Structures are given as C-alpha cells and as structure tokens.
Amino acid sequence: MDSEKTNLFLSETARIHNVGAALTTDRSQRNRAVRLVAAVLLGLMTIGLWLWSSMNYAIEQSPRYPDFDKIEASATLKWYPCHEELGPRFLCSKLRVPMDYHRPLNKSGSPHVDLALVMYPARSSSDVHWSRTPMLFNPGGPGGSGVEFLLGRAPQLQQIVGDDYDLVSFDPRGIGYSRPTADCFAFPSNGKVPSNDDRAYGDSQRVLYTNELAGHGLFNYSSRSTLDIDSRNRALGQTCAEKDAIQGEDSLLRHIATPNVAQDMVSIIDAWKDWRQTQCASHRSKSGCCEDEECIVSAHEDPEGKLVYWGFSYGTLLGATFAAMFPDRVHRIILDGVVDADHYVSPTWSESIVNTDDIVNQFCHYCYEAGVWCDLYRKGDSEADICARIDIIFQSLKDSPIHGVDPVRHVPALIEYPRVKSMLFIALYAPIHNFPYIASYLNTIFLVYQEQGFPSTPSVQHAPSLAVGVDSQLAIMCGDKRYPLNDTIPILEERHRKIAETSNFADVWMTLMDTCSGWSIPSKDPPMRWDDHPTKKPKPIKTRFPLLFLSNTFDPVTPLVAGNLMARKFVDAGLVELKTEGHCTLAAVSRCMTTKIRDYLSRGKVPSAPGEFISHDWETCEADETPWKPYEPMYGQEGTRNATTDREMWEMHKTMNSWKQLQEFANTRGDFGYGRNRLPILGL
C-alpha cells in the first residue's frame, strides 16, 4: 500500500471511530505489525478451518464408519447392526434400485444403484413393532450425506420429532456411501468401470484442479478472473462429458437428477413396507404384531407406503419434487430453508441472495448491541460505523493483500479479498455460531492495516485440497437445469452486474453459478418428465396431506420470498417464518418452532396457508437466541414432582437442548450447505 493510499485509509478509519491517536504509522511499531500479521495468518487458518471444516471433517473428526461396501446390496431391505461406537441402536442397509427406471432391475443388463441407508429405531420399536413408515431426511447440498447426518445426531433428531417414527436417512445416488459415486476424474484403465487405482489417481487430479480453480479468485475480481473461471468450469464440464461418453446409457451422470432421487424415495418407502410386513408375518404367532386391531388406523391417516420427510435447503427441492410427482404418497413433509423450484432450473439463481446483504447489516446491529464483547466494535460506534469498517477492510484487501509467514506451518501465506469474502459469506449461514468469530477475525485484519501498509505482491498459491462432494454437487445442479448456462463472457459479466444491483456478494454467487457453464450431459428422467412438473403449472397441487414450509426472515441463499412462493404452489400448505438470520431454521433455537414441528408431525396440525408475500400474512415464531446471546442448554435430572407442567417443561428443555446440539453439529459438519462446496475459500 503506497503512502497516499495509507494516508487515505487512516484518515477514513479515524473518521469512523474517532480514535486518531491510535492510528499511527510510526516505524518503531513495526514489530507489533509483524505480530499482528502473524495473528491474522493464524486466525485465517484457525477460523477458516472451523468455518469450512466440512471439507475435511470426515477425515479428521468423524468416527471411523464401517465400510458400506462390505454390506450386501439387495432389492429388499436387510438391516444389519452397525456403528456400535455411536451406540447399539443403529442399523444399516444397502438397497438396490434401478439406475434408469425405464429399465427395471429384472431386465437383463440393466444398470443399478446401491443406496446406503442408516436407521435409528424409535424408542418404542422392537423386533415386532416398527413404525408403519420411516421418517426420511435430506441435509441438502446438493451432495450432502444423509447417512453421516443421521449418524451424527440421531438422538437429538428423535427428541425433536418424537417417537412416532423410526428415523432413516440415506445417501442419494452418486453421493457418499452409495454406489456408484458421481466421479468425473476417475477414468477406467480398462472397460467402463474404474479400478481403485483409477479412483485414487482421479482423486489426486481433482485436488490439483480444485487448487488451480481457487487461484483465480472470484468473478470480476481481476481483468481475467471471469474468463479464467469460466474456462476452467467448461474444461471440467468437458471432462465429465468425456467420462459420461465412455459409460453411455449406463452413466450415472445422466441419471442423477432430482426426479430420479424422488423416485428412489418411493423405492425406499415401498421396500420398508415389504420388509415390515415380513417382520410382522414372522412374529404374528407371538404377538399379533402391528396387524393386530389395536394398531389399525383409518385408511386416510395410515402412513404405510407414504412419505414422512424433513428436507433442508436443497432437500426442500427434493421434497417438493416428490410431492409434485407423487401427491398421493404424502403423509408429512417438512421443507426447511426453501429453494424456489422455478429459479433452481434457471441458468443462474439470481434471486437466491436478495437477503444476503441484510444479514451483514444485522451483523452490524448485533455487534453494536454487544458493544465491547464484539471485537470489531469501537467506543462511540453506530451500526453504520461498523458496516463502514467492514467496507474499508475489503477495499484494503482488494488494494493490498496481506502476505507473510504462516506462524504454525512456517510457510509463505497470503490473505486476500476472495478468501475473506468467501469466509464472510459462509459465516452468514449460521450467525449465532459464526458472528463472534468473524468479528474477531475481521478486527485482526483491520489492526494489521492500521499498523502498516503492505505491497500487493501475492507470493503463494492456495494449498492443495480435497474437494468433498464436488462431482455429485456439480452433476445434480447442472443435470437439473432445464435452461443450461452457455453464455459468452460479456453476457456473464452482464449477469454479474444485474445480481450486483441486489447484493454485494454477486462475485461470490456468480463464481458458484458459473460451475455449470457449458454442461452438456443430458439428464434422463424417470417416467414423469421434469418439464411436466406440476410446480410449473398455475393451479396449486393437491397433496394427500398439506406440506409444511419453514423459512427464516433473512436467509443468505434461500430467501423468505421463496418459501412463500413454494407454499402457495401446494393446496393448504402451511408456512412458518422464524424471525432470525441464517440458513434453515436450525440457525436459531426456538421453542415456538419446535412446537410447530412436533404438532405437525404428531397431531397433524398444519399452520395456516400464507397469503401473497406483500401481505406478510403467515404464521411466525420468535427465536430464543441471538449472536453474542446464544441459548444456554439446561442439563440436569427431571424434577421429582409428578405435576404435568413439570414433565412438559423438562421435555421442552430436552427438545431445545437437542435443537442446539443439532445446530452445533450442522455448523461443524457444514450441512445445509446450499451453494457452499465449490467456493474458493482458504484453498481448503
């Protein structure tokens, strides 16, 4: 940073917090500046790893899961005890389904997919009593592992939803422990199926590619960044297309789109029905099982063969697709952090980030309220002062990235605009958890620029990384598009300009959106064509039971307006707004929201249908925590008195504790990550 820029920066800083005496450039303080650089480099590594731990969580932090490849796949459900290190109740299975539903399994030579499933039985379940249908989950992504999601917090989920259902989650086709996985880098040495060596080599090439892509920064960051990002995305699309061509009609990449996954969920609940009836038949002589008249329910309320489901983020698109394709199969469907189906199939999700900047403004508000507890706060600040300080930080990073030596690994390190901007964007997903940390990190950067300017001479490349879930996310996102992205650079720049009119994060968002540039692999739908999707028709869809939509007031990627639009596409569907910030309702503990969910699942109580968005006519819930004032879980033993109110209060505390634990697990895991896997943050 030259002297003129330094003086301008310091004068603007003094205007903001009126502490000019602290803003010295005295060379005698050079050692302190060096220490600050070391601190910010350490902060980048520590906070960055924490914010983006989904990239290496499965390797470094998760329990050692058994190899699903050792479980025999079958067209019928066969459950095996598994994951005993997490408790004695988990059961696992591999369900074989058609890769192409136009070519059933009983047809010679038909390709198949083996879906990995995990079950956490209800406390009331036994060899002779299983719920008439399971409750399924999808954590979002696309590309998120449903298996790891349930393994991580099954007891907490069961506390929230109640004991009416056995909990089952699965890795959708192409993802996680399901086979085959979506893989654009593992080319077979012989034939059509890659060997283990082929996959290992492909993984190493993916690391190199991801590292090179991250080195280009964000859209519109430099004179060449947009062209370079788009060119590399097109090259990746061509690589995937070449892999697809080798496997032809048996290629998973053309059978991975969302309608196929919705059809897989039908296969799961049908297989459950058959398995449960087999269990009942084998034990009927002993207990009568659940065919006994005491267990019979009315045909209208009988959940057997129907879907009970909680989907987050992209999982809402999957759930809405299921409800549109199979409206008579709906028993209870909760869609949390709602994706607008119409925008999702468009070239760029331009309206997804209409509320993203609002969350930054809320950060300034909460930081102001926290006062000295927020590291970015200065005495005498207004909310506007804090926001202005953030703007100065990012302008300074654009003008002069910070470089130095990593204080832990003792290697060259670089702190620049794209990484920090991506980090801030990701922090907006979970403000309760993230805001205090991001405030501390931004403050450390700010102090570096106070002490001394640094020349903008980038000296290192991003560290190699393993991009988890990249290929599956790419194949699903791009395969779902019915209006492909295949624009020239000037048109892409115009798209960026229009989104920038809505949000300061247009550069981050267009970097993700361009992922599908030039994607050419055709999607093969199951019997119902996506273009005939009822959500695209003006008349609302009548489902067997109304859906429940949940949205936050300010969501960084799935705005409240999307929840309103999607709820009004289904007859009598309810909408509940949680008055908080972040992605999906797990972003904040709310007693009101937990009650709404439990009442919907157990009592069939549906919140009122929403009016037009402009009317703000729908039900709302208050959050019971804010950043810097998080909910404190209550632990201890249940009261000794037998009063109903005591038991109910204790049960509510346990439910809210479970919500908080699930929130923390999701933050650590990086779940509900709509649009997160391929951002060039930290090179991780």
Q: Give residue-wise pLDDT tens across range 223-281.
A: 999 999 999 999 999 999 999 999 999 999 999 999 999 999 999 999 999 999 988 87
Tell me, what's the pLDDT at 232? Answer: 93
User: Can you give the pLDDT at residue 88?
Assistant: 77
197-233 pLDDT per residue, tens: 999 999 999 988 888 777 788 999 999 999 999 999 9
| CATH number for the domain harbouring residue 67 | 3.40.50.1820
268, 543, 606 from 325: Cα distances, Å: 16, 10, 21
Residue 396 neighbours by CB distance under 10 Å: 24
Average pLDDT over the chain, rounded to an integer: 83
pLDDT, one tens digit per residue, over 421-435 is 999 999 999 999 999
Residues 16-59 have pLDDT tens digits of: 344 333 333 343 444 555 555 555 555 544 444 444 343 333 32
Residue 72 contacts residue 56 (beta carbons within 8 Å): no
Mean pLDDT of 486-508: 97
pLDDT at 467 over 50: no
Residue 508: the pLDDT is 96
Per-residue model confidence (pLDDT) at position 674: 54
Task: Using the predicted structure, report yes or no on whether residue 403 has a pLDDT greater than 50.
Answer: yes
Would you place residue 474 in the very low, low, confident or very high pLDDT band (cuts 50, 70, 90)? very high
Enter the tokens of residue 273: 């029905």
pLDDT of residue 287: 47
pLDDT at position 39 is: 52
Classify 93 as helix, strand or coil: strand
What is the rounded average pLDDT of the residues 313-319?
97
Rounded distance between C-alpha atoms, residue 164 and residue 296, angstroms: 15
Q: What is the pLDDT of residue 530?
A: 57
Name residues whose C-beta falls within 8 Å of residue 471's C-beta, 6 or more positions apart in sequence. Answer: 174, 181, 182, 183, 184, 185, 206, 240
Is 512 buried (19+), middle (13-18) or exposed (0-12) by CB count in 10 A?
buried
- The answer to whether the Cα torsion of 129, 134, 139, 145 is positive or negative is positive
- Asked whether the predicted pLDDT for residue 289 surpasses 90, the reply is no
3-state SS string for 30-87: HHHHHHHHHHHHHHHHHHHHHHCHHHCHHHHCCCCCCCHHHCCEECCCCCEECCHHHC
Which residue has 């739908």 as its token pair?
525
Q: Among 20-24, 184-188, 320-324, 612-616, where is mean pLDDT lowest? A: 20-24
Looking at the predicted structure, is the pLDDT value of residue 118 above 90? yes
- Cα–Cα distance between 518 and 511 in angstroms, integer? 14
As a whole number of angstroms, the distance between CA 86 and CA 147 comes to 13
Q: What angle do CA 70, 76, 79 make, to 5 degrees?
A: 50
* Least confident window among 70-79, 136-145, 468-477, 655-664: 468-477
Backbone angles phi, psi at 114, to 5 degrees: -105, 110
Domain that holds residue 405: 1-684
Q: What is the pLDDT of residue 85?
A: 81
Residue 456 scores a pLDDT above 50? no
DSSP 8-state code for residue 224: T
What pLDDT score does 669 carry?
Answer: 65
pLDDT tens profile 53-107: 433 333 233 333 457 878 999 999 999 999 888 877 899 999 999 999 999 898 8
Predicted confidence (pLDDT) at residue 145 exceeds the cutoff of 90: yes
The answer on pLDDT for 291 being more than 70 is no
**73 pairs with which residues across the strands?**
94
Q: How many Å apart are CA 49 and CA 684, to the nearest integer?
A: 8
Residue 641 has pLDDT above 80, yes or no: no
Mark out the alpha helices in 74-189 (DSSP H runs). 146-161
Check if the beta carbon of residue 679 is closer than 8 Å to that of residue 213.
no
d(C-alpha 497, C-alpha 208), whole Å = 31
**Which tokens belong to 662?**
């699930």
- The count of domains in the chain is 1
> Taking 50 as the threshold, does the pLDDT of residue 150 lie above it?
yes
